[in-house]
Amino acid sequence: MEKVLNWGLLSTARINRSLIKPLNASKRTRLLAVASRSQSTADAYAQEWNIPRAHGSYEALLNDPEIDVIYNSLPNHLHAEWTIKALRAGKHVLCEKPITVSLEELDAMIAASKETGNVLAEAFMYRHHAQTLKVKEIVDAGTLGKIQLIKGAFTFTLTREDNYRNFKDMGGGSIWDIGCYPISYARMLVGAEPLEVFGWQVQGPSGSDESFIGQMKFENGVHAQFDCGFKSPPRSYMEIVGSEAILKIPTPFKPGPKSEIELIRAGNSEIIKIKGQEVYLGEVEDMCDAITKNKPPRVSLADSRGNISTILALLESAREGKKVSF
């Protein structure tokens, strides 16, 4: 019988709510503990979400001998420090995206994973969903012809001015928080890294980008365009333009158990219906496979490194006002 893995939540971040349901639903996982910087906060959170153990410090969670897996949902600037500590404490780590905001930190995290033999993966939940796998299948099969253009967007209105997403020194900025999705999606479809990028940004009071518009040029004449931001109405989509057909994905990043994509060829529209699972369950099951079956995580650390490299190049382009080549 396969081992049930005990999970611990590193922080009481809002994003935890998306993982609690699949952790409780999976037969291979048990949500055993949560940690906060204060015992009272941890106790209240544990009571609210029916979590057996509450730790009043992050260190206490890492020192809990029964915890197998840590979900790191701390603000971006704390991902590297606490992921490395968790790996060295003998825990596997699912780290919320973006896995970090610098290549130096990411390389240190990768090194810690290799040294300890513990699994580290970035939590890009959409990558595990049946809709994403179907889109990739359609593109790879040549159904659209030669891929010419990939377009995407992810925006929402961030109303909490004190939110860490607004602060550059906390790893904030719209490209790190949500622009990472269309960037990741385009790279996944092409199956390669961009050759050059160009970006524009609108900066907020702290110096982080409130909105970002970017372009990526890949080999074989494939181009990608995206925008992201905290000051626009909620919108998300991906569109793939090929020489023979167009594929539209209206809910690419948070598809539901039932979703639809649209294939347009010669002016005719075909709706493709896809039955999938709850969107966050995939990353939980993928982590279990990596730990108990030694399967490579679907989102590899090389893939994560490519995404971080692309984002950093786009930010450099926006600062310098010129394209950045790789």
User: What residues act catalytically?
Assistant: 97
Tokens 């209105």 identify what position?
Answer: 157
- The answer to whether 125 touches 252, Cβ cutoff 8 Å, is no
**Going along 89-195, which residue ranges are E strands?**
92-96, 120-123, 147-157
**In DSSP terms, which residues pair with 215 in a beta bridge?**
198, 225
For 231, the token pair is 């000051």
Q: Is the peptide bond before 182 cis (omega within 30 degrees of 0)?
A: no
Distance CA 146, CA 135 (A): 15
Q: How long a stretch of residues is the chain?
A: 326
Tell me which H or E stretch contains 140.
Answer: helix 130-140
